[in-house]
Amino acid sequence: MDEKIIIQQRPTKSPAVAAILSVIFPGLGALYNGLIVKAIFYALFAIWLIVQLSAHAVEASAEVFMGLLLGGLWLFQIVDSVNNAKSINLAMAKQKANEAADVEVLPKVVPSGSIFWGIALIVLGGLLVLMNFDVIDIATLFSVILPVAVIIIGVKFVFDALARAKNGK
């Protein structure tokens, strides 16, 4: 008697469904993709920003910044959910092609070799903490620190472009 082996295939993820769920509320697309920690982070951060904006706990100039931050988070997590769904589908296609049972769902992160954005986010977070403790004023942040940060980021882009041109990429 021939035995039939039933292999349950994991359903592929729809990037469109991930995007629609992410539009409804931050984190739903990541939850759909099975990325629970990321979904919780997106949801909690969005809720915190919404509470801060609705409670009028911040100054008028900070409301603009927090509103832009909320909009940026919302757009980022939509794109991230779509990319994660595509990565999951790609990994599943490779698994079917190789007929391997031990394939990770998401591809491994390839280091880019630059720590600039990590340092930039740490500095931004530090500035926001200093703002919360009234060490620096929001006006100082927008009139002095933010323009200097934009200049530094622009210089980094120029150096990166020069390095790519030098290496022939």
- How do residues 26-73 score in pLDDT, each as one tens digit? 888 889 988 888 889 888 888 887 877 777 655 666 677 777 888 888
81 shares a domain with 130: no
pLDDT beyond 80 at 111: no
Share of the chain above pLDDT 70, in %: 77
Buried b (16+ CB within 10 A) or exposed e, 132-146: eeeebebeebeeebe
Average pLDDT, the chain: 78
Indicate whether 67 belongs to any domain. Answer: yes
Work out whether the CA dihedral 106, 112, 113, 116 comes out positive or negative. Answer: negative
pLDDT of residue 103: 46
pLDDT beyond 60 at 121: yes
pLDDT of residue 14: 84
Q: Which of 79, 105, 131 is the last residue of a domain?
A: 105
User: Higher pLDDT residue, 128 or 111?
Assistant: 128
Taking the C-alpha atoms of residue 138 and residue 110, their distance in angstroms, rounded to an integer, is 37
Residue 89 CB partners (closer than 8 Å, separation 6+): 12, 13, 15
pLDDT of residue 155: 87
56 shares a domain with 24: yes
Domain count, the chain: 2
40 shares a domain with 116: no
pLDDT of residue 145: 77
pLDDT of residue 101: 45
142 shares a domain with 126: yes
Residue count of the chain, please give it.
Answer: 169
167 shares a domain with 128: yes
Under 8 Å between Cβ of 27 and 43: yes
3-state secondary structure of 27: coil
86 shares a domain with 161: no
Please report, in angstroms and rounded to a whole number, the separation of the first and last CA atoms in the chain: 60
pLDDT of residue 100: 44
pLDDT of residue 113: 63
pLDDT of residue 10: 57
Instruction: Give residue 119's domain range.
Output: 112-169
pLDDT beyond 70 at 25: yes
pLDDT beyond 70 at 116: yes
Place of tokens 């469904």: 17
